[in-house]
Amino acid sequence: MKNFLYRLIINSATDYCYQNCLEHVREKACILDVGIGNGVMMNHFHELIKAKDLNITGIDINRNYLRHCECKIRQYNLENHVNIYCQAVERFEPPEGVCFDYIFFTMSFMLFRDQGLVLDRVKGWLAPDGEILFFQTLFRERVPLIEFIKPRLKYVTTIDFGVVTYEAAFLSLLRSKNFKIKKNRLIKSQWFKGEYRMTVVGL
C-alpha cells in the first residue's frame, strides 16, 4: 500500500517537476538541487542531463534516499554530471568558488520550518543572473481539510509532505526577500483546487 501511494503521489509529481525544470535551464548549467531525494528522476531524464551537459549538486538529509540516488548515478553513468551530499540546506556550504546558475526546490520548499532563513542562505549562492526554481503544489483558497490531512500523510506513507502552501503568502515571502518573480506558471491542476506551479525568481 505504501509503495502504491508513493508511486501515485510522488512519481507523477517528480516527472512534472523535473521535466519543466530541466527544460527551463540552459546548457552546461551548474545546478543545486535542494532535496534531490532518491534520484528516481534519472530514470526519465538521464539523457537530457547528458545532452545539456548539466552539472548537478544534489543535497538531501535522508541517507536511504541518497543510497538509492547513488545507484541511479552509476546505473546511468552520470558520475560526471551529478554529485550528492547528505546535508541539510541550513548547514550546507557550496564548494569554494562555486556559484549556481539555478537552484531547484523540487517539492521540498514546503518542508522547511524557517523558509526565510533558507532563502537568505541560498541567495548568496546564486551566480550573476542566476535563478531559483520552485516546483510545488500551491493553493489560492484556504482548504481546512488539506491543512488537516497533509501533515499526517507521513504516518501513512512515511513521506513528509510538509504544510499547505498558499500562493499569496508564498509570493509575499519571496518579495519580502527582494526576489523578482519572473514566472509563476501553472503546470497542472490538482485535487481540492491545488495547482502544480513552477515559480522562477531572480535577484
pLDDT digits (tens, 9 = 90+) for 86-144: 999 999 999 888 899 999 998 899 889 899 999 999 999 999 999 999 998 888 766 55
Of 55-69, 148-162, 178-192, the range with the highest mean pLDDT is: 55-69
Q: Where are the domains of the chain?
A: 2-202
- The pTM assigned to this predicted structure is 0.85
Correct CATH for 2-202 of 3.40.190.290, 3.40.50.150, 3.90.79.10, 3.40.190.10: 3.40.50.150
Long-range Cβ contacts of 51-55 (<8 Å, 24+ apart)? 52/22, 52/25, 52/26, 52/27, 52/28, 53/27, 53/28, 53/81, 54/22, 54/25, 54/27, 54/28, 54/29, 54/81, 55/28, 55/29, 55/30, 55/31, 55/81
Q: What is the pLDDT of residues 36-90, one digit of tens each?
A: 999 999 999 999 999 999 999 999 999 999 999 999 999 999 999 999 999 999 9
β-strand partners of 138: 195
